């Protein structure tokens, strides 16, 4: 009997690589759709796709257990009008391409899990957002709104649809945590701006378990906040990181310095200064068990092993 197939679009990055490892470990045949296929030694297949047009990659969806779409241009870039258009197009185009491919399948995938982001809510201040909150305002909210609208309108009646609004992902080998840890070790881990902006984070291991749960259990459908139930202010987050790394104090970083530094590094200051205060209400209601429900346990796991 052939193993069930999982197709991960945009699966060669930080999150996708973790998903590929876990689904392979669980006995699935994993196919990664990527712009740059390379020879792999881990049993994962790679198939070329451009994130826009139907090609031979579409055959992989026929009879698949699940398709997971992580595709999108990295938001860690200057949010110029040109880049904002590219950020939106890379997300909407991939959703439309997958929808068209599923429509042509004799046996459509059982489930389509679409990544979105908690940027959907815009700058939340200290308001705690559940999945029922409407689309916010601002560039990131507009991108996420267009992204989710494309997914919502995808006509795939035989395929269960799940949206995961992913928060600030903490991992040992990717994402922002290695950079923050390095800065903190050099006594540059102070609060950013006024430090009151919220960070809704998630340990990579729990995020992977969310993808697995929503792919394997038909009771999961609709929109979920993929965050831990422990949103922290920037000041609290950095304070906890300093404790873990034995750095008692670091000078705060003024907002002006963040904006200038972001411009010099080709990044976007909004990503640091915007507040995202969210709760995983629907995962909690489903009795999903977090392995790392609070920041201290998450940072202990990710940072102490590297000291």
Percent of the chain with pLDDT over 90: 93
The gap from C-alpha 64 to its chain's centroid, in whole angstroms, comes to 22
Flag whether the pTM goes above 0.85.
yes
Q: How far apart, in whole angstroms, are the C-alpha atoms of residue 86 and residue 93?
A: 10
Backbone dihedral angles phi then psi of residue 79, each to the nearest 5 degrees: -85, 60
Q: How far apart are the first and last CA of the chain?
A: 45
Per-residue model confidence (pLDDT) at position 42 = 76
User: At what angle are helices 295-303 and 234-244 packed, to 10 degrees?
Assistant: 40
Per-residue model confidence (pLDDT) at position 305 = 57
Q: Tokens representing 283?
A: 């995962």
The answer on pLDDT for 290 being more than 70 is yes
The mean pLDDT value for 214-241 works out to 97
Q: Own/partner pairs for 124-128, CB < 8 Å, 24+ apart?
A: 124/198, 124/275, 124/276, 124/277, 124/278, 125/275, 125/277, 126/196, 126/198, 126/275, 126/277, 127/277, 128/231, 128/277, 128/278, 128/279
pLDDT tens figures, 3-55 = 999 999 998 899 999 999 999 999 999 999 999 888 776 789 999 999 999 99
Give the residue carrying structure tokens 């139930």: 229
Report yes or no: 178 and 124 within 8 Å, Cβ to Cβ: no
DSSP-derived 3-state class of residue 110: coil
pLDDT tens figures, 95-116 = 999 999 999 999 999 999 999 9
Strands 232-233 vs 198-199: parallel, antiparallel or unpaired: antiparallel
Per-residue model confidence (pLDDT) at position 41 = 67
* Residue 265: how many other CB atoms lie within 10 Å: 10
pLDDT tens figures, 129-180 = 999 999 999 999 999 999 999 999 999 999 999 999 999 999 999 999 999 9
Strands 222-226 vs 160-166: parallel, antiparallel or unpaired: parallel
The answer on pLDDT for 306 being more than 60 is no
Domains of the chain by residue range: 5-167+203-227+279-284
Contacts of 147 (CB under 8 A, 6+ apart): 72, 88, 91, 92, 95, 116
Per-residue model confidence (pLDDT) at position 304 = 74
The gap from C-alpha 96 to its chain's centroid, in whole angstroms, comes to 19
Report yes or no: 231 and 200 within 8 Å, Cβ to Cβ: yes
pLDDT tens figures, 73-90 = 999 999 999 999 999 999
- Of the pLDDT bands very low, low, confident and very high (cuts 50, 70, 90), residue 279 is very high
Pick the CATH number of 5-167+203-227+279-284 from 3.30.365.10, 3.40.50.720, 3.30.360.10, 3.40.1000.10: 3.40.50.720
């Amino acid at each position: 009997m052939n193993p069930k197939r999982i197709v991960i679009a945009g699966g060669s990055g930080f999150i996708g690589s973790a998903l590929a490892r876990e689904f392979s470990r669980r006995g699935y045949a994993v196919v990664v759709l990527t712009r740059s296929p390379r020879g792999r030694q881990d049993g994962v297949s790679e198939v070329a796709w451009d994130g826009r047009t139907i090609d031979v990659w579409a055959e992989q969806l026929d009879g698949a257990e699940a398709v997971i779409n992580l595709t999108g241009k990295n938001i860690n870039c200057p949010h110029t009008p040109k880049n904002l258009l590219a950020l939106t197009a890379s997300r909407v185009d991939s959703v439309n391409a997958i929808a068209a491919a599923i429509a042509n399948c004799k046996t459509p995938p059982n489930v389509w899990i679409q990544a979105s982001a908690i940027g959907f809510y815009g700058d939340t201040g200290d308001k705690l957002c559940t999945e029922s909150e409407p689309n916010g305002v601002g560039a990131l909210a507009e991108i996420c709104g267009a992204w989710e609208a494309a997914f919502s309108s995808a006509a795939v009646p035989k395929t269960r649809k799940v949206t995961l609004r992913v928060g600030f992902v903490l991992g040992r080998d990717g994402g922002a945590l290695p950079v923050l840890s390095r800065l903190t070790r050099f006594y540059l881990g102070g609060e950013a701006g006024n430090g009151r902006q919220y960070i809704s984070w998630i340990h990579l291991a729990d995020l992977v378990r969310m993808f697995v749960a929503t792919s394997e259990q038909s009771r999961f459908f609709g929109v979920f906040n993929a965050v831990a139930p422990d949103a922290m202010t920037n000041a609290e987050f950095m304070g906890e990181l300093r404790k873990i790394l034995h750095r008692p104090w670091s000078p705060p970083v003024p907002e002006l310095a963040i904006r200038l530094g972001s411009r010099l590094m080709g990044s976007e200051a909004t990503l640091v200064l915007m507040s995202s205060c969210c709760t995983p209400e629907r995962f909690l209601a489903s009795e999903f068990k977090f392995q790392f429900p609070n920041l201290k346990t998450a940072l202990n796991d990710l940072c102490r092993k590297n000291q």
